[in-house]
Chain A
Amino acid sequence: MTEAIFGPVGRLVVEVVEGMGNFTLLIRSSFQWFFRARVEWRQTLIQMLFIGLESLPVTAMTTFFTGMVLALQSGASSKYFFNEPLFVGTVVAFSMVMELSPVMTALVVSGRAGAAIAAELGTMKVTEQVDALYTLGTDPVRYLVIPRVLAFLMVLPFLSVVSDFTGIFGGWVVAHAKLGIPTTVYWHDIVDNMEPRHFFHGFLKNYVFAFVIAFICCYKGITTSGGAQGVGRATTNAVVYSMVAVLVMDYFVTAVLVALGIP
């Protein structure tokens, strides 16, 4: 009876703890390889191009429309209260730069590049290509994981800055064409209020997001088992875990940055 109830729960607890332990080991092992100065720069470059090109159109598109929506809504609400659209540029730029660009970029990249990486590494695992790396004198952490982690760390901030611009541009399109706000007003609403620390608030988030997405997707990939079905499961899990981790980490990073006076 107790076995029937606690058996599965116990196994689940063991599995979760074991999984987290292995995940931590992967991160540790990556740092060891990294500091032994054995970085595969060629692979890193290939991955940077892959992640960047794969995700750029989608992130640009997504944040462009987000900027448009922000302008429309803030314009509508300030019209309701003040009879004219005020501070639309400020609302769009602050929302994009501090919060929405990094988060939306991270979510889109999880779904595009993260999924692709989990599926690729998962397929390599179940077809023994990961084992083949060991027999040929290298190691999946060195050859597969580190290049992808580095690529994410370098590309995600870049994508996010592009998203800042596409978002603000999207906001401008609506402000200009639909709300009738002069371009100079929109622009001054932004530059008169924004300071470098606002930019860094959003920018620093990217590194945390890149780190969690890359490690989760690589971990899910190289621990895949169970053939084609296993690859599918690993891919879905990688995306879901990355997205949840991004949103959860976002809160804690924001809390830390606010505490440090980088609002």
Chain B
Amino acid sequence: MIIAESVKKSFGHRSVLRGASLKVETGETLVIIGGSGTGKSTFIKTVIGLVKPDSGSIKVDGQDLTRIKTEEGLAAYRRNFGYLFQEGALFDSLRVWENVVFGLRYLTDTPFSQYRKIATDKLALVGLKDVEDLMPSELSGGMKKRVALARAIAAEPSYILYDEPTTGLDPIMSDVINDLIMDLQKQLKVTSIVVSHDMKSAYKIASRIAMIYEGKFIEVGTPEQIKTTSNPYVRQFVEGLSQGPIKMKIKEFEA
């Protein structure tokens, strides 16, 4: 279980998280929705300890991230997580299979002789075959995301954080990734947080949906509850309307 309480984070003068509180139950898939630049990535980076919050607390299975002081402690904490980066963040100097097993050396005691086989297995789990020896630059966008996903799950984490897994993919590939997330959920029994602004995918994979707005979670509920919400902000976002309480400027110079 992940419990975030009044997490605040500013970059310079820009206040991104302004007291974000969220509870993620063990075994669920919680989808975070919200506009671009509202701090979705910052939030999940805070959860895994890549971004240090200014205040607030984050507890994972009872352990408080903000009280961890040493690099080793932080590394041990991160061991709970797999993280899928928005652009994949594959190491472009390493082959696909080396990317997939990269973390095993640091996170597990797996002997090196098994690495190649584990890579093949994890790639099969995300629906890829015969790509082990390619370089990341030789892969399409959808394949990169899958390889990145295989890398994120290779050390068998209990939590997976997905940063926009379907953004930039065609609708069919998006749905394939959705199925993959649900499969992993069933097979590995992981707890997931998925950042997305793709409502179709959110409704499909989420056990609950949380909407972030101006640095806070303004509503959390099941897909059904979100569909029929009375909150005007959430309604505007999920229905994708330009008119409503959330003001997006068409021209930057309009007040």
Q: CB within 8 Å of B: which residues of A?
A: 120, 124, 127-129, 131-132, 134-139
A136-B103, A137-B155 are known contacts. Are A128 and B79 too (CB-CB below 8 A)? no
Q: B157's closest neighbor in chain A, by CB?
A: A135
Within the complex, the shortest CB–CB distance from B229 to chain A, in Å, comes to 33
From the candidates B82, B85, B90, name the one contacting A131 in the complex (CB within 8 A).
B85
Within the complex, the shortest CB–CB distance from B205 to chain A, in Å, comes to 21
Q: Does B3 contact A (CB under 8 A)?
A: no
Report which residue of B87, B89, B92 has the largest number of chain A beta carbons within 10 angstroms of its beta carbon: B89
Within the complex, the shortest CB–CB distance from A235 to chain B, in Å, comes to 17
A134-B50, A136-B102, A136-B151 are known contacts. Are A129 and B75 too (CB-CB below 8 A)? no
A128-B85, A129-B89, A129-B91 are known contacts. Are A135 and B48 too (CB-CB below 8 A)? yes
Check B106 against A138 for contact (C-beta < 8 Å).
yes
**Chain B residues with CB below 8 A from A128, complex form:** 85-87, 89
A238 to B221 CA separation, bound complex (whole angstroms): 50
**Chain A residues with CB below 8 A from B82, complex form:** 135
A136-B107, A137-B107 are known contacts. Are A131 and B50 too (CB-CB below 8 A)? yes
Q: A130's closest neighbor in chain B, by CB?
A: B89
Q: CB within 8 Å of A: which residues of B?
A: 45, 48-50, 71, 75, 78-79, 81-83, 85-87, 89-93, 102-103, 105-107, 151-152, 155
Report which residue of A124, A128, A136, A138 has the largest number of chain B beta carbons within 10 angstroms of its beta carbon: A136
Q: B81's closest neighbor in chain A, by CB?
A: A135
A134 to B103 CA separation, bound complex (whole angstroms): 10
Q: A143's closest neighbor in chain B, by CB?
A: B106
Check B85 against A137 for contact (C-beta < 8 Å).
no
A135-B50, A137-B75, A139-B71 are known contacts. Are A129 and B83 too (CB-CB below 8 A)? no
A128 to B92 CA separation, bound complex (whole angstroms): 11
**Chain B residues with CB below 8 A from A137, complex form:** 75, 78-79, 103, 105-107, 155
Q: Apart from A128-B86, A134-B49, what are 20 other A-B pairs with CB-CB below 8 Å? A: A124-B91, A128-B85, A128-B89, A129-B91, A131-B50, A132-B83, A132-B85, A132-B89, A134-B50, A134-B78, A135-B48, A135-B81, A135-B82, A135-B83, A136-B107, A136-B151, A137-B78, A137-B106, A137-B107, A137-B155
A-B contact pairs, 26 of them (CB 8 A): A124-B91, A127-B87, A127-B92, A128-B85, A128-B87, A129-B89, A129-B90, A129-B92, A131-B45, A131-B85, A131-B89, A132-B89, A132-B90, A132-B91, A134-B49, A134-B50, A135-B48, A135-B50, A135-B81, A136-B103, A136-B151, A136-B155, A137-B78, A137-B155, A138-B103, A139-B71
**Chain B residues with CB below 8 A from A127, complex form:** 87, 89, 92
A236 to B131 CA separation, bound complex (whole angstroms): 36
A120 to B82 CA separation, bound complex (whole angstroms): 25
Within the complex, the shortest CB–CB distance from A124 to chain B, in Å, comes to 8
A129 to B85 CA separation, bound complex (whole angstroms): 9
**Chain A residues with CB below 8 A from B92, complex form:** 127, 129
When A and B form their complex, which 9 residue pairs have the shortest distance between CB atoms, in order from nearest?
A137-B106, A136-B103, A128-B89, A135-B83, A137-B107, A132-B89, A138-B106, A128-B85, A129-B89
**Chain A residues with CB below 8 A from B45, complex form:** 131
